[in-house]
Amino acid sequence: SQQGEEDPQALSIQEGENATMNCSYKTSINNLQWYRQNSGRGLVHLILIRSNEREKHSGRLRVTLDTSKKSSSLLITASRAADTASYFCATVPYGNKLVFGAGTILRVKS
């Protein structure tokens, strides 16, 4: 069952531009996480935001969470070619499992 849905499905930008990806979900959550996946590789955890938090930063990453709208956004500032990857949001309903969305494919052109 997929709870998170990312938008857009694909995004192509120039190096140096900002990239914004959105995630919507359906049920109440304990926390929401963002992961990156380079082609043919495993996922790498980027950032976790808890249900009582509204915004979180990590380096060039900024994540917001709006529990009233059941949505989150991931902003990557000053993008680099190395940021080219698929990005997934994963929600944690009140339980022990992550529920992943289908992902956003980001391509950063140099």
Partner 1 sequence: DGGITQSPKYLFRKEGQNVTLSCEQNLNHDAMYWYRQDPGQGLRLIYYSQIVNDFQKGDIAEGYSVSREKKESFPLTVTSAQKNPTAFYLCASGETSGSKTDTQYFGPGTRLTV
**Of 25, 43, 26, 42, whose CA–CA distance to 34 is shortest?**
43
Determine which residue in the list 44, 78, 81, 82 makes contact with partner 1, applying CB under 8 A.
44
Do the beta carbons of residue 23 and residue 4 sit within 8 Å? Answer: yes
* Binding letters toward partner 1, positions 3-22, x by CB under 8 A: -x------------------
Separate counts of helices (H) and strands (E) for the chain: 0, 11
Least distance (Å) between residue 38 CB and partner 1: 10
Site residues (vs partner 1, CB under 8 A): 1-2, 4, 30-31, 33, 35, 40-45, 48, 88, 92, 94-103
